[in-house]
Amino acid sequence: MLDQLHHIGLTGTEAKIYLVLLDLGKAQAGVLSRKTGIHRRSIYDALDRLIEKGLVSYMVENDKRFYLPADPKRIQELINSQKAQIDQILPTLLAKFEEKKSKQQTFFYRGKEGIKTIFEDQISEGKDIYILGASHDAKELLRFYIPHYTHKREKKKIKLHALYAGKRHDSPVPLAEVRYLPESFASPVSTNIYGDKVAILVWSDEPVAILIKDKAVSQTYRKYFAMLWEMGKE
């Protein structure tokens, strides 16, 4: 129970004192010190805090002060109070987070899970995807994930416009327009353009990616894609 009481905001000392008081019913500070092994001065400080929280009260008998535990239901009241305070400041915290988030325009990802994050973002964006240097390596590196990605893409009717370099592959790409550039354009780097975002993916055993969120950058890459698309062969 000590850990649970600690998680709701009581210190270790406060939690020990409260539990001992529940066992004893009432006790003086000296008894609490002996029972808990906590220095008497720390006992007094913790008792003052527990009194402020409404978890402990005291009474005087024969000029001696005895401390009593409050009903444990008071703990639920404390939790409700904490939640109310969080609910009050949460809109401000979220506003600050979103303001900061909107200024973050470049994100870095590493590994297969990072690449999946970008692909899932494409699904969430729901816009057509333009791919410069589409890579067949993606199907191999993410062979268990790509079918799920393709299913989601088809379900949301997100179309691919893919430019491959080099030889043609017979396997069709669902819901996609595909063109081919000469072998000289081949590269392990693939660029995905969607919405106001550009994702630059480096396909290697440990793939890495840079995601740029910037409308001007996206428009520039889209123009470059259109120029190469005209060069491509079906």
Q: Report the alpha-carbon distance of residue 196 to residue 218 in Å, rounded.
A: 5
Six token digits for residue 58: 């005291």
For 80, residues 6+ apart whose C-beta sits below 8 A from its C-beta are: none
The parent domain of residue 116 ranges over: 105-231
Instruction: Examine the pLDDT at 17 and tell me if it is beyond 70.
Output: yes
Q: Which of 79, 75, 145 is nearest to 117 (CA)?
A: 145
126 lies in a domain?
A: yes
| pLDDT recorded at residue 195 | 94
Residues 141, 30 share a domain: no
Q: What domain count does the chain have?
A: 2
Residues 198, 121 share a domain: yes
3-state secondary structure of 54: coil
Six token digits for residue 157: 């009717």
92 lies in a domain?
A: no
Residues 48, 124 share a domain: no
Q: Is the CA virtual torsion 35, 41, 42, 46 positive or negative?
A: positive
Q: Report the alpha-carbon distance of residue 27 to residue 23 in Å, rounded.
A: 10
Given 45, 70, 95, the domain boundary residue is 70
Residues 222, 176 share a domain: yes
100 lies in a domain?
A: no
| pLDDT recorded at residue 170 | 65
| pLDDT recorded at residue 103 | 58
168-216 confidence digits (pLDDT tens): 776 778 889 999 888 888 888 999 999 999 999 998 888 899 999 988 8
Residues 112, 60 share a domain: no
Given 70, 87, 117, the domain boundary residue is 70
Q: What phi and psi, each to the nearest 5 degrees, are found at residue 172?
A: -70, 150
Q: Which of 116, 115, 104 is nearest to 212 (CA)?
A: 104
Higher pLDDT, 162 or 96: 162
Residues 22, 123 share a domain: no
94 lies in a domain?
A: no
Q: Which of 204, 217, 208 is nearest to 107 (CA)?
A: 208
165 lies in a domain?
A: yes
Residues 191, 114 share a domain: yes
Instruction: Examine the pLDDT at 3 and tell me if it is beyond 90.
Output: no
67-126 confidence digits (pLDDT tens): 999 888 888 888 888 788 888 888 888 887 776 665 558 899 999 999 999 999 999 999
Helix axes 29-36 and 40-52, enclosed angle (nearest 10): 110
Residues 181, 115 share a domain: yes
117-160 confidence digits (pLDDT tens): 999 999 999 999 999 987 766 777 888 898 999 999 999 999 99
Q: Which of 178, 192, 56, 36 is nearest to 118 (CA)?
A: 192
Task: Sort residue 62 into left (φ over 0), alpha (ψ -120 to 50) or beta.
Answer: left
DSSP letter assigned to residue 71: P
Q: Strands 64-69 and 56-61: what pairing?
A: antiparallel
Q: What phi and psi, each to the nearest 5 degrees, are found at residue 107?
A: -130, 145
| Domain at 178, CATH number | 3.30.870.10
| pLDDT recorded at residue 100 | 64
Residues 118, 24 share a domain: no
Instruction: Examine the pLDDT at 1 and tell me if it is beyond 90.
Output: no
pTM comes to 0.56
| Domain at 34, CATH number | 1.10.10.10
95 lies in a domain?
A: no
10-29 burial, b if ≥16 CB within 10 A, otherwise e? beebbbbbbbbbeebeebbb
Instruction: Examine the pLDDT at 167 and tell me if it is beyond 80.
Output: no
